[in-house]
């Protein structure tokens, strides 16, 4: 194939990227930190995703995430800087040095106020409302896929499973959306329903069982969550409505 759209639009030169240490292991290969020298000479700290297997179809799958990300521009979504399409292929993104929200919630559990946790939920919701406006579903919303840019700012990432879908499909997909990410935020990153087998979760949901309120979750936020878990999709608020409701729940001092 000719190569992905992302490559055409966001191609950068390897000479401008200085690779640093390994940050972690991604699905396709190691992720490094590094520095990117922009065309204006600015030096930007970056995260570089690499791909171990450079066969054509794996490469295409690897680059499909960048292909989606190149069209996204939002303060709470991971920012794509560019792609190097020749072997070894690299995806270069802005670096968020506090790492995954999941780990951050555990490390900082005694320092994070309810107001701050609510702010993270609001920011994630803003990112999701933006995607909703583009008819895009993320399909893997979890605190392990949110990065911490600063103690007051989180960014939704990992678009590997995301898709553009038409309105009809969006409606169908909404049936399967369960806002569990908020529960993770208020449960020190513990997975929702961790006490059940995968198959049991569906059965429990079908029979009307819902997640209990995490101890630190404000009741007003939990009642919002229970509306998101309405059995019938039309009974659930969409993301823009959630942003409005969450703005009221967020303490005034954390108003963005």
**DSSP secondary structure of 20-43:** EEEEEE-SSSEEEEEEEE-TTS-E
Alpha helices in the chain (DSSP H): 5-10, 56-69, 101-107, 114-133, 167-174, 181-185, 198-206, 219-228, 239-249
What are the backbone dihedrals phi and psi of residue 7, each rounded to the nearest 5 degrees, phi first?
A: -65, -40
- State how far the Cα of 157 lies from the Cα of 170, in Å rounded to an integer: 20
Residue among 16, 53, 67, 140 flagged as catalytic:
140
- State how far the Cα of 217 lies from the Cα of 154, in Å rounded to an integer: 19
Alpha-carbon distances of 74 from 30, 53, 84, 117, 151, rounded to whole Å: 26, 31, 23, 20, 18
x-or-dash string of contact with ligand ADP, 155-174, rule CB under 6 A: --xx-x--------------
Identify the residue among 3, 18, 19, 23 touching ligand ADP (CB under 6 A): 23
Identify the residue among 6, 12, 31, 250 touching ligand ADP (CB under 6 A): 31
- Is residue 27 part of the contact set for ligand ADP (CB under 6 A)? yes
140 among known catalytic residues: yes
Query: Residue 146 or 224: which CB sits closer to ligand ADP?
Result: 146
Query: By the 8 A CB rule, do 156 and 124 touch?
Result: yes
Which range of residues in 115-123, 152-160, 177-185, 229-237 is near ligand ADP by CB under 6 A?
152-160
Give, as ranges, the residues between 77 and 96 that touch ligand ADP (CB under 6 A).
78, 93-96
44 CB-near residues (< 8 Å, 6+ apart): 35, 36, 37, 38, 81, 94
- State how far the Cα of 245 lies from the Cα of 52, in Å rounded to an integer: 44
- Is residue 99 part of the contact set for ligand ADP (CB under 6 A)? yes
- State how far the Cα of 21 lies from the Cα of 161, in Å rounded to an integer: 27
- Is residue 100 part of the contact set for ligand ADP (CB under 6 A)? yes
- Is residue 5 part of the contact set for ligand ADP (CB under 6 A)? no
- Is residue 69 part of the contact set for ligand ADP (CB under 6 A)? no
Which range of residues in 21-29, 104-112, 127-135, 203-211 is near ligand ADP by CB under 6 A?
21-29
Q: Is 213 annotated as a binding residue?
A: no
Identify the residue among 26, 102, 192, 214 touching ligand ADP (CB under 6 A): 26
Query: Residue 67 or 158: which CB sits closer to ligand ADP?
Result: 158
- Please report, as ranges, the residues that interact with ligand ADP according to CB under 6 A: 23-24, 26-28, 31, 47, 49, 78, 93-96, 99-100, 147, 157-158, 160
Question: What amino acid positions are annotated as catalytic residues?
Answer: 140
């Amino acid at each position: 194939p000719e190569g992905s759209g992302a490559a055409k639009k966001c191609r950068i030169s390897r000479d401008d990227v200085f690779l640093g240490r390994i940050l972690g292991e991604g699905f396709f290969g190691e992720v490094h930190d590094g520095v990117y020298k922009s065309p204006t000479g600015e030096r930007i700290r970056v995260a570089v995703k690499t791909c171990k297997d450079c066969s054509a179809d794996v490469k295409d799958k690897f680059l499909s995430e960048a292909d989606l990300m190149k069209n996204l521009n939002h303060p709470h979504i991971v920012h794509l800087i560019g792609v190097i399409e020749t072997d070894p292929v690299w995806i270069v993104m802005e670096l968020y040095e506090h790492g995954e929200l999941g780990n951050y919630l555990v490390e900082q559990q005694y320092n994070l106020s309810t107001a701050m946790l609510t702010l993270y939920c609001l920011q994630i919701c803003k990112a999701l409302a933006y995607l909703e406006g583009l008819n895009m579903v993320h399909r893997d919303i979890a605190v392990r896929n949110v990065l911490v840019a600063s103690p007051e700012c989180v960014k939704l990432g990992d678009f590997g499973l995301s898709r553009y879908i038409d309105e009809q499909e969006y409606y169908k997909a909404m049936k399967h959306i369960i806002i569990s990410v908020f529960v993770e935020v208020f449960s020190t990153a513990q997975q929702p329903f961790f006490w059940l087998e995968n198959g049991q979760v569906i059965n429990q949901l079908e029979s009307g069982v819902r997640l209990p309120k995490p101890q630190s979750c404000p009741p007003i936020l939990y009642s919002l969550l229970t509306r998101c878990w309405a059995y019938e999709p039309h009974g659930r608020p969409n993301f823009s409505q959630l942003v409005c409701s969450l703005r009221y729940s967020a303490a005034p001092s954390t108003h963005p």
